[in-house]
């Protein structure tokens, strides 16, 4: 485990450093890490997904790409890195990377794993690879209770060891959001007319984010609120399809595709309502950010979202894949300023409970226990 007089060395391992939820959590956590107790390094596998590598490097974390493609050639490079850098513990943040680390490193190091998604969402090969090597973990953290409950062996494998598993909500650094507090000028930048109600969603364009249901809801909302504008912040593989569907619904004037925005919390803070239409979700940091900015939310009852948003307290929770109910929730909030104000204040208070600093302290407690 290394010299007890020196700091323990921790490798944060992830498949990509593209713009996604798990990747953003690494960025959010980086400033909170206790460098006096642990030496941290980051490794990722996909060289073409490196959008956040520079930001992590600027936070003082050495970042290395292991160059993993579709093959397993990255595993020997991981072994060499662990040996030469004398890594004590590997904390994996994606199943593909975790499977390779468990198989390639064995008991050379301690293994911590954060599960960001429900097991049934994974490709079958990933599901079985994760499941069959899962017992090699020393400790598992799930980002929501819904995710934790999905971690279970099929009946035929119930005899396998289940590592200690706990729910740990990863959240935001509210102090880091202070730079986005001023929302003046957002509507002008986006071309939203003065006085027009604005609904914002921040989500990468992927099928499980349910943009097609959001567009169907937008079509319904526009019939009741003709001047409404929906602002879609994000990028991803289903963006072209979503744009095409918006044109088919004649929503060109009502839907604004804002692309990736570093100031996404600022845009959420300028909204009248934040909406998320996911059909599957681990834990949405974008929702927590919107709540911290004082924006009432309408979200689906998917994954860990109901663990963040209490129905009729900080916002409204509606069934997933149900555009009519989603539209009803948005219309209700747009039409009731006092309700929005009440939800907004409650949302700020609720978001404060999802503090990244608290999560980092717990993670480092786990490291210390395993490396003692």
pLDDT bin (cut points 50, 70, 90) of residue 321 is very high
The answer, yes or no, to whether residue 278 has pLDDT greater than 70, is yes
Delimit the CATH 3.40.50.2000 region(s) of the chain.
8-171+355-371, 175-351
**Please, what is the Cα angle at 284 between 152 and 304, to 5 degrees?**
40
Average pLDDT of the residues of the chain = 94
Three-state DSSP state, 372: coil
* Burial category of 240 from C-beta neighbours within 10 Å (exposed 0-12, middle 13-18, buried 19 and up): exposed
Q: Scanning the structure block, which residue is given the tokens 């948005």? A: 330
Helix-strand-coil split of the chain, %, nearest 5: 45, 15, 35
CB 229 within 8 A of CB 254: yes
Q: How far is CA 250 from CA 187, 211, 220, 243, 296, in A?
A: 22, 16, 12, 11, 27
Three-state DSSP state, 231: strand
pLDDT score recorded for residue 69: 59
* Burial category of 265 from C-beta neighbours within 10 Å (exposed 0-12, middle 13-18, buried 19 and up): buried
96-109 core/surface letters (b: 16 or more CB in 10 A; e: else): bbbbbbbebbeeeb
pLDDT score recorded for residue 111: 98
CATH superfamily to which 8-171+355-371 belongs: Glycogen Phosphorylase B; (3.40.50.2000)
pLDDT bin (cut points 50, 70, 90) of residue 323 is very high
What is the percent of the chain where pLDDT is above 70?
98
Query: With left for phi above 0 and alpha for psi between -120 and 50, is residue 9 left, alpha or beta?
Result: beta
pLDDT score recorded for residue 70: 65
The answer, yes or no, to whether residue 1 has pLDDT greater than 50, is no
**What DSSP line would sit under 31-71, residue for residue?**
GG--TTTEEEEEEES-TT--TTHHHHHHTT--EEE----SS
CB 348 within 8 A of CB 18: no
Instruction: Encode pLDDT of 48-66 as tens digits.
Output: 999 999 999 999 999 999 9
User: Across the strands, what pairs with 43?
Assistant: 13, 64
User: Across the strands, what pairs with 167?
Assistant: 142
Rounded Cα–Cα distance for residues 358 and 353 (Å): 9
Three-state DSSP state, 269: helix
pTM for this structure? 0.90
pLDDT score recorded for residue 282: 86
Q: Is CATH 3.30.300.20 the classification given to domain 175-351?
A: no
Q: Which two tokens stand for residue 134?
A: 């899962």
pLDDT score recorded for residue 5: 54
- The rounded radius of gyration (Å) of the Cα atoms in the chain is 21
């Amino acid at each position: 485990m290394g010299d007890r007089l020196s700091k323990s060395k921790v490798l944060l391992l992830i498949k990509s450093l593209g713009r996604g939820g798990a990747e953003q959590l690494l960025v959010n956590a980086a400033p909170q890490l206790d460098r006096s107790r642990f030496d941290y390094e980051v490794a990722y596998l996909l060289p073409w997904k490196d959008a956040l590598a520079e930001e992590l490097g600027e936070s003082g974390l050495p970042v290395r790409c292991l160059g993993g493609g579709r093959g397993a050639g990255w595993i020997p490079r991981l072994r060499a890195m662990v040996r030469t850098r004398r890594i004590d513990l590997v904390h994996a943040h994606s199943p593909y990377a975790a499977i390779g680390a468990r198989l390639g490193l064995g008991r050379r190091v301690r293994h911590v794993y954060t599960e960001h998604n429900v097991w049934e969402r994974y490709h079958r090969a990933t599901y079985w690879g994760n499941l069959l090597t899962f017992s090699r973990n020393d400790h598992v953290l799930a980002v929501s209770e819904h995710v934790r409950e999905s971690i279970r062996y099929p009946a035929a494998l119930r005899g396998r060891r289940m590592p200690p598993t706990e729910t740990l909500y990863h959240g935001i650094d509210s102090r880091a959001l202070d730079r986005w507090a001023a929302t003046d000028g957002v509507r002008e930048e986006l071309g939203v007319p003065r006085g027009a109600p604005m609904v914002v969603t921040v989500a990468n364009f992927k099928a499980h984010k349910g943009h097609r249901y959001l567009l169907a809801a937008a079509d319904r909302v526009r019939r009741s609120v003709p001047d409404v504008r929906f602002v879609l912040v994000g990028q991803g593989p289903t963006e072209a399809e979503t744009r095409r569907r918006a044109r088919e619904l004649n929503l060109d004037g009502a839907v604004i595709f804002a692309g990736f925005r570093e100031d996404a919390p600022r845009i959420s803070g300028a909204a009248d309502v934040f909406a998320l239409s996911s059909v599957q979700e681990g834990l949405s940091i974008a929702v927590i950010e919107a709540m911290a900015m004082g924006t009432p939310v309408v979200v689906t009852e998917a994954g860990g979202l109901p663990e963040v948003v209490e129905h009729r307290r900080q916002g409204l929770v509606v069934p997933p894949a149900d555009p009519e109910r989603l539209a009803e929730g948005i219309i209700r909030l747009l039409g009731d300023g006092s309700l929005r104000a009440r939800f907004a204040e409650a949302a700020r208070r609720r978001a404060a409970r999802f503090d990244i600093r608290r999560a980092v302290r717990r993670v480092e407690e786990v490291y210390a226990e395993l490396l003692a």
